[in-house]
Amino acid sequence: MSAPRHKTVGSSKASDNAKAKQLEASTSTFAHILTTNQGLQIPDNHNSLKAGTRGPSLLEDFILREKITHFDHERIPERAVHARGSGAHGYFKPYMSMVQFTSAGFLQDPDIETPVFVRFSTVAGSKGSADTARDARGFAVKFYTAEGNYDLVGNNMPVFFIQDAIKFPDLIHAVKPEPHHGMPQAASAHDTFWDFASLMPESTHMLMWVMSDRALPRSLRMMEGFGVHAFRFINAQGDAHFVKFHWKPKLGVHGLTWDEAQKIAGKDADFHRRDLWEAIDSGNFPEWELGVQIVDAGKEGELGFDILDPTKLIPEAQVPVQIIGKLVLNRNPENFFAETEQVAFHPGHLVPGIDFSNDPLLQGRLFSYTDTQLSRLGGPNFHELPINRAVCPMHNFQRDGMHRQTIPKGRTAYEPNTLGNGAEFRVDGATQGFQSYRESLESPKVRGRSPSFDDHFSQATLFWNSQSSAEKDHIVAAFRFELSKVESTDIRQRMVDNLAHVDMKLATRVAAPLGINSPDPKAAAGRLGYRAYRITNKVDEDPSLRMASKPGGSIKTRKVAILVADGIEAATIKRIQLDLTEAGAICKLVGPQLGNVVTANARQINVDHTFANMPSIMFDAVLIPGGPQCIAALLGMGEAVHFVLEAYKHCKSICALNEGAQLLGSIGLKPAMSKESVKTPEAGIILADTRKAPEGQISQDFIAAISLHRHWDRANVEAVPA
């Protein structure tokens, strides 16, 4: 609970009101007049003060010095990790009261909306890196609650590389560009990272996630979030439960192909940032549901692994996720720097009813985040920046420091005291406000880990067993790509030897093209850091761990490219375009050049994008219209043919109408329609005769195909030259 604020000393309401009116008047008058930071009107913003028109600039030009000084310091040090981020405002609303488990106020009343700010980010790259690098993604939520700010600082993966925070600097030094030449940027495919990973078997589970499609999200709006660590819920009676947090996207969980991610990085490095901004700006507000896995304190030992180990997850097949509320992002930042860059998250920003566990990675983060904010934001008063400021009353005797914005009033800066408001005095054993969980601790002090942390492979095996066939293929391909970039054969060998403890078939497939020996699990067993201990998972596989089981049923905000050229039969696409739009998709006409194309009946339609500036990697599906002249023109354009080939290779839905089927002939699909009005010769490929198909059937089939996201079982995609 916050104590009352000091009474104003030596001031009056009349004086304050006068200042407020003066400020309002001056703000209105000079809203479009340049001034210094102190409000002095600037007479000339084009010329510095000089000794003559061709003479040297003068040191006394304080207007020049203020402007240049501010410019010189308008970039703050970037984050050591999670430097590249995107943010948005929104709200959180619980579906039910969680009073049985926690006294946290924002989780009690379904009628109360709590303001939030959310920041998504990549981990390894600099601020200037591309959005689509293979990487874990940060998913940090700041709740502005009536009891103070609560920060749920997580990732889009439920586990992490290391078990103890003391190894975090080593992990980041290994994955960052190699120090002797500063390369590669935002990539783990190099010797230092895999040298570290191959010597740290505890990283194996996280490596499986990072080599999966989870590391290549289609959109920030289409990825899960996790609190990673075990926290505690504490209710009003002091009863504790362990809790793991989950964010479930309403649009489903979707990924890119690796080929697609690399090409997008070159075509639009801001792909995810732009997608989030445009969705909110157009009113398609992203939504997630908050879920929790709750484990009774004292029963965590029945899980079969240590709940304090951040390299472990609780399988949903073992402890189901309870959905307890929703998160909606409905407002973009007004200023990227002031909000997205200056927002300061901290896992130690708690509210009553939520507490830490003894997870050694989490414990280390409690120091690291404060230390980072002091350096990055210039001092101890980063909490006073507008984006970080709590909405509840604040009262303490912490004073001064760099960048202080509030003006504490009164003569007392200590407690207990009798000179302030008369209510501030020492209270021992208070029961109000935040209460740490009363936990019995064992001794003696020791620098080490519990033997219950020693299993490094069982859950990696569970993850592998839970993947679909296509997702397994993608994991193998990712390991092959990454390790093929490693120059040291010893490192490549060590890594596949480790993978042999996950699954021998996986390790053998990864090793095949790497120019090394077959995987040898005995070799891995003899290395430093390896433990022979291995648990037996309570479940053999968990469908929640595969993305293929979470396609979502909506095509809302999915982007559909409609290919156009002169001679297009516009009538063939009109109904389908309308149906797609009504289903929530975004349709764009893509042609050889901007401006207009002329339809078969001599009408003009506007082109939104060209094949060059908006290639197929920017879309989720492709619609090819009818019209002999149009299709003949498209067949003569290499960019148009490549557009279709690439969409096919990336397993996207393609609908070809009438003569449009000819564009698919170059990938081996026979364009002949036979007697059927609509047919699907390959997964996600729809060939339709608009003259025969029942009204609405083409749209219905196309929408159903797009809703599946991708068609990973499509044949011969490796043979497509795109």
d(CA 493, CA 481): 14
The catalytic position among 149, 155, 332, 537 is 155
Helix, strand, coil percentages for the chain (3-state, nearest 5): 35, 15, 50
d(CA 233, CA 411): 40
Q: Are strands 559-563 and 586-591 parallel, antiparallel or unpaired?
A: parallel
Q: Where are the alpha helices (DSSP H) in 485-609?
A: 489-499, 504-511, 521-525, 571-582
DSSP, collapsed to helix, strand or coil, labels residue 715 as: coil
The catalytic position among 37, 46, 47, 82 is 82
Q: Are strands 322-331 and 85-94 parallel, antiparallel or unpaired?
A: antiparallel
The strand pairing partners of 155, in sequence order, are: 138, 226
The strand pairing partners of 35, in sequence order, are: 41
674: left (phi over 0), alpha (psi -120 to 50) or beta: left
Report CA-CA distances (Å) from 12 to 9, 393, 394, 407, 408. Answer: 8, 21, 22, 15, 15
d(CA 316, CA 711): 26
Distance of CA 657 to the CA centre of its chain: 37
d(CA 372, CA 374): 5
Examine the residue annotation and report whether 89 is marked as an active-site residue of this protein: no
d(CA 275, CA 218): 10
d(CA 67, CA 42): 11
Nearest to 614 by CA among 634, 637, 639, 597: 639
Q: Output the CA angle 713-717-722, nearest 5 degrees.
A: 145
Examine the residue annotation and report whether 642 is marked as an active-site residue of this protein: no
Please check whether residue 215 is in contact with residue 474, taking contact to mean a CB–CB distance below 8 angstroms: no
* List of residues 6+ apart from 201 with CB closer than 8 A: 456, 457, 498, 501, 524, 527, 529, 530, 531
Residue 615's CB is within 10 A of a number of other CB atoms, namely: 21
d(CA 102, CA 232): 9
Range list of β-strands (E), 437-593? 559-563, 586-591
Please check whether residue 96 is in contact with residue 156, taking contact to mean a CB–CB distance below 8 angstroms: no
d(CA 449, CA 164): 9
Nearest to 540 by CA among 623, 467, 435: 467
Q: Which residues are catalytic?
A: 82, 155
